[in-house]
Chain A
């Protein structure tokens, strides 16, 4: 059983398209996150939800919209994709401290 699962694993799309990445966790954690890892491996937090409520919203273009239908799911929708959005996006969950990350979604915008 995968603790934090993301789909798809790879996503190649053209500029201007809209895409979604889905994340599910079966750990019973209350908090979920989206992190972006750029080509230099730097991990930067984008959003955090606690029990379906948005608690962290870093400086991210409003083309990125997270949605949490329940505390086990956190999806990321991206509108009007740009070349600079190419990165690996990681979903994670936590209970107090100690994150569990998913295996990532490699997004390539061409």
Chain B
């Protein structure tokens, strides 16, 4: 049972373009939704996170959009750069638990 569904599996974007990665969940007890970025040979690193009491959070070129009624959230990378090429994971955890459930990841390639 996959609790967080992530799409697409891979994404190719031109430099300067917008990268969009989507995630959907079923468990309404989830109340924390982070995104992680992983470069080859490294561990995942926290990029940005959101709670369901807001619909959008922006940090620099990275924005999370959250739709509570649809149980969906997405990561938007504006002005994508080759250095953004990495695997991105959405995740979720529920109240009272620090256990993170991860999506299957999206490999982003930004072409110069």
Chain A interfacial positions (CB closer than 8 Å to B): 4, 31, 40-45, 48, 50, 56, 90, 92, 94, 96-104
- The 0/1 profile, CB within 8 Å of A marked 1, for residues 23-49 of chain B is 000000000101010100111111001
In the bound assembly, the distance between CA atoms of A43 and B4 in angstroms comes to: 12
Q: Given A98-B46, A98-B49, A103-B43, do A56 and B104 touch, yes or no (CB 8 Å)?
A: no
CB of A31 within 8 A of CB of B98, answer: yes
Q: Given A41-B105, A42-B105, do A92 and B98 touch, yes or no (CB 8 Å)?
A: no
CB distance from B34 to the nearest CB of A (A): 7
CB of B43 within 8 A of CB of A101, answer: yes
The A-B contact count (CB < 8 A) is 51
Smallest Cβ-Cβ distance to A30: which chain B residue: B98
Given contacts A97-B32, A103-B43, 6 further A-B contacts (CB under 8 A): A41-B87, A41-B105, A43-B89, A98-B46, A101-B44, A104-B43
Smallest Cβ-Cβ distance to A40: which chain B residue: B104
Contact-residue size bin, chain B (C-beta under 8 Å from the other chain): 20 to 34
CB distance from A35 to the nearest CB of B (A): 8
In the bound assembly, the distance between CA atoms of A96 and B95 in angstroms comes to: 11
CB of B34 within 8 A of CB of A42, answer: no
The majority secondary structure among interface residues of chain A is: strand
In the bound assembly, the distance between CA atoms of A91 and B43 in angstroms comes to: 9
Which one, A43, A56, A96, A101, contacts B45 given CB within 8 A?
A: A101
The majority secondary structure among interface residues of chain B is: strand
Ordered by A's residue number, 26 sampled pairs between the chains whose C-beta atoms are within 8 Å are A4-B43, A31-B98, A41-B38, A41-B107, A42-B105, A43-B44, A43-B89, A43-B105, A44-B102, A45-B100, A56-B99, A90-B43, A90-B44, A94-B98, A96-B98, A97-B32, A97-B49, A98-B46, A98-B49, A99-B44, A101-B43, A101-B44, A101-B45, A102-B43, A104-B42, A104-B43
Using Cβ atoms and an 8 Å threshold, which residues of chain B touch A100?
Answer: 46
CB distance from A107 to the nearest CB of B (A): 14
CB of A99 within 8 A of CB of B46, answer: yes
B93 adjacent to chain A (CB < 8 Å) = yes
